[in-house]
Amino acid sequence: MLHLDPGAAAAAPVPYPAPVVLAGGGAETEPFTVSSIITESTLNSWLAVGLVLAAALYLYGVHRLRVRGDRWPVARTVLFLGPGLGGIAAVTLSGLGAYDTTLLSVHMVQHMVLSMVAPIFLALGAPVTLALRTLTGAPRRRLLAVLHSRVARVVSFPLYAYGVFVVNPFVLYFTDLYRLSLEQPLVHELVHAHFILTGCLFFWPLLGLDPLPGRWPYPARALLMLLSVPFHTVLGLTVMQSSTLFGGDWYPSLNLTWADPFADQKVAGGILWAGGEFVSVTMIAVLVVQWIRQSEREARRIDRELDRQEARERAAGTSA
C-alpha cells in the first residue's frame, strides 16, 4: 500500500495544466530560433487563401491594363506583392505564426507588421486605382458608389481611423479578449484580420494614392502621424513595466523551460515601443517628401499657366 506524506503533498507546487491546443501553430516545445521561421512554416490557414487570391486579382488587373496598352508602375506592383502581401505572409504563415501564441514577443512582431508595416505598402500599391482603371460597366459603378458612400466617408475620415487605431491595442491587451484569442483559433485569426483592416483604414487616407473622400492636406496628415508617436511609447512602456502577465496564466501554463514569460513580455513591450516610433517617424518623413513634391508640381503647373497666359497676351498684342 502506498503511503503519502500530507505535509509534503501540501508543500508541493501545483503545476500549470498543459494547454491542449494553441490558437496559432500548436504547442511549440522547442526553443524559438531564426531557423524556426523556415522549418515551422505552414499554409493551413484561410489567410493563405486570401493572400493568394489578392495577389492573383492584382496581377490580373495589371495584365488587363497591359493587354489594353496602358502602363502600370512596376514599383506599385512590387510594393503591393512584396512587403505588402509578402509581409503579411512572413509573420503569419512562417514559424512566427507557429510561435505567436507561445511568445508574446513574437505576437508583438506580428502586431507591428500586420497593423503598421504591411498596410503602408498595400496602400502604396494603389489597388483601388488599379481596380477603377481595370473594371468597366456595372462593377466599376458599384465600386465608385462604395467609395462615395456615407460609410466610406466615415471610416476613411482620418480622425475616426486614428481613434480606432489607437484604442484597439488597449482593448485587446487590457481585457479578456487577448486571452480568448490565445485559446480560440477563430478569434485568433479574426484578430489578425482586424490588425490588417485597422492599419489600412489608418494609413490609406494618409498616403493619398487611391481616390478617397475627404482627403486631408499634407500638413494635417503629418501632424496626425506625429500624434501617434506618444501612443506607441505609452503602450510599449506599459507592457514593459506591467507586473501582470498578459493572457493571465497562459504563458506559464506552457511550462517552457527555455522561455521566461516576464522577460519575454519586457522584450515585447520594447518591440512595440521602438517599432512603433520607427514606423511613425519614417511615415512622417514620407509625408513631408510627398508634400514637397506636390508643392513642386503645383508650382510647375502655375508656371505653365502663367507662361500660357503671357503667350496669349503677346499674341493678342501682336494681332492688334
**Tens-place pLDDT, residues 216-259:** 888 888 888 888 888 888 999 999 999 999 999 999 999 888 99
Local structure of residue 174 (DSSP, 8 states): T
As given in the structure block, the three cell numbers for residue 233 are 511609447
Confirm if 172 and 239 have CB atoms less than 8 A apart.
Answer: no
Confirm if 189 and 47 have CB atoms less than 8 A apart.
Answer: yes
Phi-psi region of 245 (alpha: psi -120 to 50; beta: other; left: phi over 0): beta
Local structure of residue 15 (DSSP, 8 states): P
Q: What is the pLDDT of residues 52-109, one digit of tens each?
A: 999 999 999 999 999 998 999 999 999 999 999 999 999 999 988 889 999 999 999 9
- Whether 9 has a pLDDT exceeding 50, the answer reads no
- Whether 122 has a pLDDT exceeding 80, the answer reads yes
Q: What is the pTM of this model?
A: 0.82
- Whether 133 has a pLDDT exceeding 50, the answer reads yes
Q: Tabulate helix, strand, coil % of the chain (nearest 5).
A: 75, 0, 25
Confirm if 155 and 205 have CB atoms less than 8 A apart.
Answer: no
| pLDDT of the residue at 23 | 53
Range from 169-173, 212-216, 302-306 carrying the lowest mean pLDDT: 212-216
Q: Which amino acid is at 249?
A: D
Phi first, then psi, for residue 87 (nearest 5°) are -65, -40
- Whether 311 has a pLDDT exceeding 90, the answer reads no
| pLDDT of the residue at 319 | 66
Local structure of residue 83 (DSSP, 8 states): I
What is the dihedral angle through the alpha carbons of 151, 153, 158, 159, rounded to the nearest 10 degrees? -70
Phi-psi region of 255 (alpha: psi -120 to 50; beta: other; left: phi over 0): left
Nearest 5°: the CA angle 53, 54, 56 is 65
Q: What is the pLDDT of residues 187-204, one digit of tens each?
A: 999 999 999 999 999 998
Confirm if 96 and 238 have CB atoms less than 8 A apart.
Answer: no
Range from 27-36, 137-146, 194-203, 306-315 carrying the lowest mean pLDDT: 27-36
Local structure of residue 5 (DSSP, 8 states): -
Please give the Cα distance from 16 to 250 (Å, whole number).
9
Of 212, 174, 189, the C-alpha closest to 22 is 189
Please give the Cα distance from 119 to 228 (Å, whole number).
16
- Whether 20 has a pLDDT exceeding 50, the answer reads no
As given in the structure block, the three cell numbers for residue 127 are 489597388
Label residue 11 by pLDDT band (50, 70, 90). very low
| pLDDT of the residue at 296 | 85
Please give the Cα distance from 286 to 294 (Å, whole number).
12
Local structure of residue 13 (DSSP, 8 states): P
- Whether 140 has a pLDDT exceeding 70, the answer reads yes
Domain positions in the chain are: 44-252+276-307
What percent of the chain clears pLDDT 90, i.e. is strictly above it?
48
| pLDDT of the residue at 95 | 87
Local structure of residue 212 (DSSP, 8 states): -
